[in-house]
Amino acid sequence: MKLIFSEYSIILIFIGLSFLLSSAIFVLSYIITPKKADQEKVSAYECGFNPFEDARTTFDIRFYLVAILFLIFDLEISFLFPWSLSLGDLSSFGFWSMVIFLIILTVGFVYEWYKGALEWE
């Protein structure tokens, strides 16, 4: 039992410290911040639109494009992190397959940039 506790005691200490730190930050932010509410602060923020209009109104396609670009590059990071951790154990095939993946993503990003999907007017 002592062996198990010695292995997991670091994790328990980390969880306890993170709970204490997050509680302290929450309490301090509640105490320090000003409590003056105005119309802008209490209104809901819905992608730049008035939230009290009809829910079926159409909006610009660029919101979707930005969301898709975010998902693409978020997935890229989720593939890059484990690849970078196991880079020393991979063969040249694993390295070059990820390089090709990054080139394809870069070409897609340049295409989106060239088409003006990132320009907001």
Q: Which of 9-13, 46-50, 75-79 has the highest mean pLDDT?
A: 9-13
Closest-CA residue to 112 (of 56, 78, 62): 62
Both tokens assigned to 116: 């003006």
Considering the entire predicted model, what is its pTM? Answer: 0.47
Q: What is the DSSP letter of 58?
A: -
pLDDT at 109 over 80: yes
Domain ranges in the chain are 59-121
Residue 16 has pLDDT above 90, yes or no: yes
- Across the chain, mean pLDDT equals 81
- What distances in angstroms separate CA 78 from CA 32, 87, 95, 99, 106, one per listed residue? 36, 15, 16, 15, 16
How does pLDDT run across 47-77, given as a tens digit for each residue?
A: 665 656 666 777 677 777 778 888 888 888 8
The one-letter amino acid code at 50 reads N
How is residue 39 written in tokens? Answer: 């119309």
